[in-house]
Structure 1
Amino acid sequence: MGLTAALSAPQFGGALASTVDFSGFKNTGQPWPLRDSESFEYHSKAVGDKMAVGVWSPPKGLPHTPADKNPPLDVVYVLDASFALGITATICMLQYADLINPGFAQVLLVGVDYPIGQPNARTRDYTMADQVPSALKDRFSTTPETTPGGAGKFLTFLEEELDPFIRSKYNTTNKRAGILGDSFGGTFTFYAFLRQSKLFDRYWLGSPGIFETATDYVAQFEALLKGELAHPTKMYLSMGSLEINGGVGFYEEMGRNYNRLVNALNRTPNDKLAWASKVYEGHTHTSVVAPALSDALLYLFRK
């Protein structure tokens, strides 16, 4: 589907783009694959690369659905969506079926990843330039698609290209969006919070890949907490205990910086930030994803 439109940005505190050309979004005609989903490909001018976008909305007829049967949906961006979009949609469906603790928000999940056959560029798009230690940077810098440092361009893609398209095509609320990221995805959600993006007000920082480099990003985080945040925000942080002390050096480095983040939050309360954190006993960098994502969704989106 070719789509061209000009529109004002959603009403959540300032225009992200006043006039946007959506002709680059092409409907693939296939689901993500995921029931109740659509799939798009788009060549981002900001990133300079083609992106895959999967959009999932809850089916009609859910328990507790408003009488109009078509309520506007809160927007939630899901990184690493080739696997995470399906997990997230499943957790949402389970929450909609909960008769004991009802009240999970109706959400439109927007998954972002890369087309099949194209290099996975998450190490480029989810990271800051001086955020990856030299040992890992050398490993990732063998191709332009994987070289770290593109988080700023990726944030521009989300704010100025993808989000206006999503809100023009789907029935969404005028609220800011949530964003869910794990590992380097958690690095990006951390970055978006540091930048105080006008788009997001709910963040999952799952096992964020924050390392010890020449730039102390955790110190920047704490300095930000001492000031005025752009708008009220919720944040959920998570990590597996075996990341922190399981004997893998770069995971343990991430664990030390995770503890620094939580300590900064405890030392520096901010009236505009509500947060929760949890270390999952016995879990690794991979096994922690599903339980932590479930808890993050409940904390961030249960009414």
Structure 2
Amino acid sequence: MRYPILFGLVLFVLSCNTPAPADLNNLPSAKDTLHFFSKNVNDSFTVYINLPAGYRSDSSKHFPVVYLLDANLYFDIMATVLNRYAEVGLAPQVILAGIGYKDFPEMDSLRNRDYTYPVAIPDYEMPVSGGADKFLSFIDEELAPDLDRRFRTDTLQQTLMGHSLGGYFTCYALLQRLSGKQHRFRNYIAASPSLHYNHYFLLDALKKTVPSKTDSLNVYITFGGLEKQDSLYRQLSSLFPSGSIIKKTDIYSALDHMDTQLPTFIKGLQWQLGQ
């Protein structure tokens, strides 16, 4: 399905003060910054948390968790949009967990390491790559269980979403779920995933995967019309024709590669979480 532009661009507010770390002895604040050292990756990560308004007013409710990649770039604006949209019923109330790095330059260099698999072919000239398996183990075995202990999370409604190489990693995590290697996420949102990586390695692997009929998953993948990915779009549209994988693929006709992330994230959450 092809769409015109659905959203005006929202200005980034990246000059906000860094919120204080969570105090586990008190009710957590609406925004927290947590710091994790991952044994799987052998490196440290900064995780930004945004709690929905209902978290503080309803002390018994558990909330879906949305894990957002490239958080140094996207967390502030996604938290702002989700908060405002949730106020007027246009977005679900979720716990937003943005996985980031010490700063933007570090994110720009290390995302190649963490979001890709296998190691990049020489043509890409990536100094580090191929660590998606370790990064997924960090989320699945270290980060997510810790957040489940700290916050009232709905462990049956957890979403992974990313853009570009982050979208590639989201599809990689989907492949691992379909292969029975991880069971954390039920929902996957990938904006303009870089599936050309290593001569479409991941797309070929997805084509060969037979989903379990008992695995109820929701998958939303988009591209911008100006990316001219019609062939790739058609291939993705034909994946998983039967079974319990609920898949939706869209093209935003007037958008390019760097324009698809915000409408994809919002529309994906609205679709998957019932708004």
TM-score, normalising length: structure 2: 0.80
Q: CA RMSD in A?
A: 2.6
**Match of 2:259, SS?**
coil
- Report the counterpart of residue 126 of structure 1 in structure 2: 115
The one-letter amino acid paired with 1:88 is: M
Alignment CA distance shift 1:272-1:112 (3 Å): same
Contact 1:28 1:41 in 2 (8 A): no
- Report the counterpart of residue 88 of structure 1 in structure 2: 78
- Report the counterpart of residue 105 of structure 1 in structure 2: 92
- Report the counterpart of residue 192 of structure 2 in structure 1: 207
1:194 paired with 2:181, answer: no
- Report the counterpart of residue 223 of structure 2 in structure 1: 239
Contact 1:186 1:209 in 2 (8 A): yes
Over residues 154-198 of structure 1, what are the superposed CA-to-partner deviations in whole Å (9 max), with x where a residue is unaligned? 000001100111010111123141111110000000000000130
Over residues 192-249 of structure 1, what are the superposed CA-to-partner deviations in whole Å (9 max), with x where a residue is unaligned? 000013000100011001116366322321222x3415620001111111112xxxxx
Q: How many angstroms apart in 2 are the aligned matches of 1:176 and 1:296?
A: 14
The one-letter amino acid paired with 1:54 is: Y
Contact 1:133 1:211 in 2 (8 A): no
- Report the counterpart of residue 64 of structure 2 in structure 1: 74
Per the TM alignment, residue 290 of structure 1 is displaced from its structure 2 partner at its CA by: 1.8
- Report the counterpart of residue 39 of structure 1 in structure 2: 33
1:291 paired with 2:260, answer: no
- Report the counterpart of residue 235 of structure 2 in structure 1: 260
**Match of 2:72, SS?**
helix
Alignment CA distance shift 1:227-1:296 (3 Å): closer
The one-letter amino acid paired with 1:110 is: A
Q: How many angstroms apart in 2 are the aligned matches of 1:302 and 1:91?
A: 17
Per the TM alignment, residue 285 of structure 1 is displaced from its structure 2 partner at its CA by: 1.1
Alignment CA distance shift 1:88-1:229 (3 Å): farther
1:171 paired with 2:152, answer: yes
1:48 paired with 2:42, answer: yes
Contact 1:79 1:185 in 2 (8 A): yes
Per the TM alignment, residue 61 of structure 1 is displaced from its structure 2 partner at its CA by: 8.6
Q: What percent identity do the matched residue pairs reach?
A: 26
- Counting matched residue pairs gives 246
Q: Which has the higher contact order (CA 8 A, sep 6+)?
A: 2
Alignment CA distance shift 1:118-1:103 (3 Å): closer
Runs of 4+ in 1 over 3 A off after TM superposition: 102-105, 212-216, 255-259
Over residues 41-66 of structure 1, what are the superposed CA-to-partner deviations in whole Å (9 max), with x where a residue is unaligned? 1111101111111111012499xx7x
Contact 2:73 2:104 in 1 (8 A): no
Q: How many angstroms apart in 2 are the aligned matches of 1:235 and 1:217?
A: 15
**Match of 1:85, SS?**
helix
Q: How many angstroms apart in 2 are the aligned matches of 1:243 and 1:290?
A: 16
Alignment CA distance shift 1:212-1:96 (3 Å): closer
Per the TM alignment, residue 149 of structure 1 is displaced from its structure 2 partner at its CA by: 0.1
- Report the counterpart of residue 123 of structure 2 in structure 1: 135
The one-letter amino acid paired with 1:200 is: F
Contact 2:35 2:46 in 1 (8 A): yes
State the structure with more CA Rg.
Answer: 1
Alignment CA distance shift 1:227-1:75 (3 Å): closer
Alignment CA distance shift 1:288-1:105 (3 Å): closer
Structure 2 residue runs of 5 or longer lacking an equivalent are: 1-17, 23-28
